[in-house]
Amino acid sequence: MLPVLNDVIELARSAGAILRAGYGQQHDIRFKAATDLVTEIDHQSEKLIISSIQSRFPTHTIVAEESGHLPGSAENCWYVDPLDGTVNYAHGIPFFCVSIAYGIGHDIQLGVVYDPMRDECFSAEKGRGATLNGQPIRVSDATEMIRALMVTGFPYQLWESENNNLDNYSRVSRVSQGVRRLGSAALDTAYVGCGRFDGYWEVSIKPWDVAAGGLIVREAGGIISNMQGEPDILQKPCSLVAGNAAIHPQLLAKLNEA
Ligand code: IPD
Ligand code: CA
Ligand code: CA
């Protein structure tokens, strides 16, 4: 038995209800690193998602942000971010989501990104298109960088590596309409899928941040690749570029000028 997109949507909506119920409350915050935090709500959401997957697919592998790698059969793998945008969440900023993807290894088959505050559910099935609340979505038709609105993010330990994306931010800002930093890679990529953003990139992201959003970009007619232009977006170091067919190559070239 293989997973069905509607079941994954239902699961993401149930986890999203946990995030919505906890939003704006006092949180039990623990720091994983100086700027990287986790709340009790991340754990509650992840617990629900993992127990649901394990009850239906006990032999599948699950890669989840807070629980790590739960081994199973290599060909069936779930990528789970129970709360993408945790820093926003902890600060009471309503921009965060649940992200769940299922892949045959790195070949992503199903992806769901659910924003519980706006009740926006982005989803995609390989070969069957991408939707927002059931309506088909497409990437934008921007062709020029100067008319293209970009979005990016930064690693938590900015100061630990020179590959911290700050130079890229400066370089792309000079040639595009602007670069936003909204704090949820899963929503950033879903927004590329529905044409709100024209391009996205990030360095050293994690598979659970982008597996679902990456499929949504592709199924909405866009391109997402690593910094070499190759299609395996889940291979470390997960430094990625996304956009429509016109913007993706221009953004990739600009980032590779470094
Ligand atoms: C983070 C967000 C952010 C991105 C970070 C991620 P989290 O995920 O997606 O936009 O820039 O790299 O770690 O910690 O909120 O789940
Ligand atoms: Ca995340
Ligand atoms: Ca998270």
CATH class of the 145-255 domain in this structure: alpha beta
For 10, residues 6+ apart whose C-beta sits below 8 A from its C-beta are none
Q: Is 64 in the pocket of ligand 1 (CB under 6 A)?
A: no
DSSP annotation of 194 reads T
Distances (CA, A) of 96 to 120, 226, 230: 11, 24, 28
Amino acid 111: pLDDT: 98
pLDDT digits (tens, 9 = 90+) for 58-69: 999 999 999 999
pLDDT digits (tens, 9 = 90+) for 158-189: 777 788 999 999 999 999 999 999 999 999 99
pTM for the whole structure = 0.97
Q: Is 207 in the pocket of ligand 1 (CB under 6 A)?
A: no
- Strands 73-84 vs 60-64: parallel, antiparallel or unpaired: parallel
Q: Please report which ligand is nearest the Cα atom of 184.
A: 1
Amino acid 1: pLDDT: 82
Q: Is pLDDT above 80 for 258?
A: no
Amino acid 101: pLDDT: 98
Atom number, ligand 1, closest to the C-alpha of residue 155: 12
List the chain domain ranges.
Answer: 5-136, 145-255
Q: In the CATH hierarchy, which fold is given to the domain comprising 5-136? A: Fructose-1,6-Bisphosphatase; Chain A, domain 1 (3.30.540)
Q: Which of 19, 97, 184, 189 to mutate to test the pocket of ligand 1 (most atoms within 8 A of CB)?
A: 184
- Distance of CA 81 from the midpoint of ligand 3 (Å): 5
CB 59 within 8 Å of CB 76: yes
Listed residues: CB within 5 A of ion ligand 2: 81, 84, 209
CB 222 within 8 Å of CB 193: yes
Distance CA 90, CA 24 (A): 8
pLDDT digits (tens, 9 = 90+) for 68-126: 999 999 899 999 999 999 999 999 999 999 999 999 999 999 999 999 999 999 999 99
Distance CA 207, CA 37 (A): 18
pLDDT digits (tens, 9 = 90+) for 126-163: 999 999 999 999 999 999 999 999 999 998 887 777 88
Atom number, ligand 1, closest to the C-alpha of residue 186: 9
Q: Is 66 in the pocket of ligand 1 (CB under 6 A)?
A: no
Q: Is 85 in the pocket of ligand 1 (CB under 6 A)?
A: yes
Kindly state the percentage of the chain with pLDDT values over 90. 89
- Distance of CA 143 from the midpoint of ligand 1 (Å): 28
CB 12 within 8 Å of CB 121: yes
